[in-house]
Amino acid sequence: MLAGRMQVGIVTLFPEMFTAVTSFGITGRACRDGIVEVACWSPRDYAKDRHGTVDDKPFSGGAGMLMKTGPLCDAIAAAKAWNDKTPSVIYLSPQGRRLDHTGVTLLAQRRNLVLVCGRYQGIDERVLKTEIDEEWSIGDYVLSGGELAAMVMLDAIIRYQPGALGHEDSAGLDSFADSNTGLSLLDCPRYTRPREFAGLTVPEVLIGGNHELVRRWQLKQRLGQTWLKRPDLLAQQSLDQHEQVLLNEFISEYGTLPT
């Protein structure tokens, strides 16, 4: 069990963007309930000149600017000082460790974080060396800044804070995290009313009300969906005999894969 609320300080030139996480839905409620405390620091507030300059020319010349070191470091220092305990300082960039389910559960254990969002061409290498503890990426593509990546990370982490979701173990039943089987699987198909939609019906087993059969069907579908859509994910894990039987059932019912 995790002790106490989580504190996340964000260093960003665009603090307003974070209201998307702090004001809406599950993550908004977690912030309002004090499960997680999020606060932003803008390098702009630490700019020394009357223009509020927060960018600077790279020594290499050429196109593009870097974040100006002074205001950036002052904002990082303020975000660190705000945390009750020494935070891990994380820089979001495509050069970082790729965020996945394992990474999310790891970061969700931390009580104190500072997320540094780069803009322009990024930050000075010496700031990276001296101020940043860890570098994380949300995928092999380039965003216009670290904010959306930090928001993705924040949303995923907040889901794992105790009390953030209505039902205490709902996060344990998300795709990738099955606390019952210990497997990392995709989600199963889900259905709501009406019973017939676009000429397609809801699988009978879901209507029958036999919870044991529903659980069996759901696990079989999760195994099958992962086999169909993410064979790489399935190849990394070992199934027990029951799971193998269910997957074999799914495969034989599905027929051969179209090439």
Contact residues toward ligand ADE (CB under 6 A) are 92-94, 137-139, 141-143, 146, 149
12 or 93: CB nearest ligand ADE = 93
96 or 224: CB nearest ligand ADE = 96
HEC secondary structure over the chain: CCCCCEEEEEECCCHHHHHHHHCCHHHHHHHHCCCEEEEEECHHHHCCCCCCCCEECCCCCCCCCEECHHHHHHHHHHHHHHCCCCCEEEEEEEEEEECCHHHHHHHHCCCEEEEEECCCCCCCHHHHHHHCCEEEECCCCCCCCCHHHHHHHHHHHHCCCCCCCCCCCCHHHCCCCCCCCCCCCCCCCCCCCCCEECCEECCHHHHHCCHHHHHHHHHHHHHHHHHHHCHHHHHCCCCCHHHHHHHHHHHHHHCCCCC
67 or 149: CB nearest ligand ADE = 149
Cβ 180 to ligand ADE, closest distance in Å? 32
Cβ 134 to ligand ADE, closest distance in Å? 12
Cβ 56 to ligand ADE, closest distance in Å? 19
Q: Are 101 and 230 in contact (CB under 8 A)?
A: no
72 or 185: CB nearest ligand ADE = 72
68 or 119: CB nearest ligand ADE = 119
Cβ 121 to ligand ADE, closest distance in Å? 11
Shortest-Cβ-distance residue relative to ligand ADE: 149
93 or 221: CB nearest ligand ADE = 93
6 or 149: CB nearest ligand ADE = 149
Cβ 60 to ligand ADE, closest distance in Å? 19
Cβ 111 to ligand ADE, closest distance in Å? 23
Task: Report the greatest alpha carbon distance in the chain.
Answer: 71
Cβ 9 to ligand ADE, closest distance in Å? 17
Beta strands 196-197 and 134-137 are: unpaired
